[in-house]
Amino acid sequence: MTTEIKQQPGIALGIVPGIAPGIAVVLVDPNSLTRDCFSLGLGTLCQDMTVRSVASLKDAAGVLARDGRTEVVLCNIGAQMGLNDVLCAAIRDAVSACLPVPLVIISDRDDGGMILESLRLGVRGYIVPSLGLGVMLEAIRLVAAGGTFVPATSLQSLIAPVPGGVAVPQPPPPGVSVPVTDRIGGLTPREMAVLTCMREGKSNKLIAYMLGMCENTAKAHVRNVLKKLGATNRTEAAFMAHAHLSRGAALGSNQP
């Protein structure tokens, strides 16, 4: 069953409507209650958002095949014990089923390792319940514009000790095991600004707009940043930037 909800202008408690007009979303959630809650919440939050809610990826694929307007697919995987071969395969299949539309996961687990692995599998966003609907909508906007969304607190959990407890070491992505201070210090001021935007999950188009350059120039800067940092992708570069900041350094400290 497919349910389409398009809210008229309205105000929910603590929420300002009309933030991200014109976004078409497909929500995949096998549970009727949470599916309806997410659909109604997003529709109330954004007056022009169209949310088509379905119970399975098979139903979502049918919607995508019939309607080329969909910009983001949200998939609620609920509470999972952690990554395993079955879950990894399911995430990979979900990403493939939604292509070329980006997939955003909603999960009860705020686990940095699980988030990074999901990104490696092709997921473009990871939302946890603690973020709230307002942040969820901004994440949808970002992914629809070509960016990638990861909760900052989740990345910080990989590089910061657990207060009052014993920190469990997490395997860093390839290339992050060596100190990055010298690498980041070797970036030009313009490249530092680009890295800051990459850390915030901005797409090349948004980086170009924010920094007043053409998109091809932004792409060239991104390639240079990845090369200088020794990062294989944008996620790795963002991880390095977080690690750098956790040591008390400021990304914008480089001067010409």
User: Does any domain span residue 174?
Assistant: no
Are 143 and 197 part of one and the same domain? no
Are 128 and 196 part of one and the same domain? no
Please report, for residues 11, 68, 73, 139, 146, the alpha-carbon distance to residue 100 in angstroms, rounded to integers and kept in the order given: 33, 10, 10, 18, 11
Residue 202: predicted pLDDT: 85
Instruction: Provide the CATH number for the domain around residue 136.
Output: 3.40.50.2300
Answer yes or no: is pLDDT of 246 > 80: no
User: Does any domain span residue 74?
Assistant: yes
User: Does any domain span residue 167?
Assistant: no
Are 147 and 205 part of one and the same domain? no
Instruction: Provide the CATH number for the domain around residue 201.
Output: 1.10.10.10
Domain assignment of residue 97, given as a range:
3-156
The total domain count for the chain is 2
Identify which has the larger pLDDT, 56 or 22. Answer: 56
Are 111 and 194 part of one and the same domain? no
Are 12 and 83 part of one and the same domain? yes
pLDDT in tens, 114-138: 888 888 889 999 998 888 888 888 8
Average pLDDT, the chain: 77
Would you say 61 and 70 are in contact if contact means Cβ atoms under 8 Å apart? no
Are 49 and 145 part of one and the same domain? yes
Indicate the burial class of 253 (C-beta count within 10 angstroms; 0-12, 13-18, 19 or more). exposed
Which amino acid is it at 190? Answer: R
User: Does any domain span residue 163?
Assistant: no
Percent of the chain with pLDDT over 70: 75
* Measured distance CA(238)–CA(243) in Å, rounded: 9
Are 22 and 148 part of one and the same domain? yes
Answer yes or no: is pLDDT of 28 > 90: yes
* Measured distance CA(128)–CA(118) in Å, rounded: 13
* Measured distance CA(122)–CA(249) in Å, rounded: 30
User: Does any domain span residue 165?
Assistant: no
Would you say 244 and 185 are in contact if contact means Cβ atoms under 8 Å apart? no
Are 110 and 205 part of one and the same domain? no
User: Does any domain span residue 207?
Assistant: yes
Residue 20: predicted pLDDT: 41
Answer yes or no: is pLDDT of 2 > 70: no
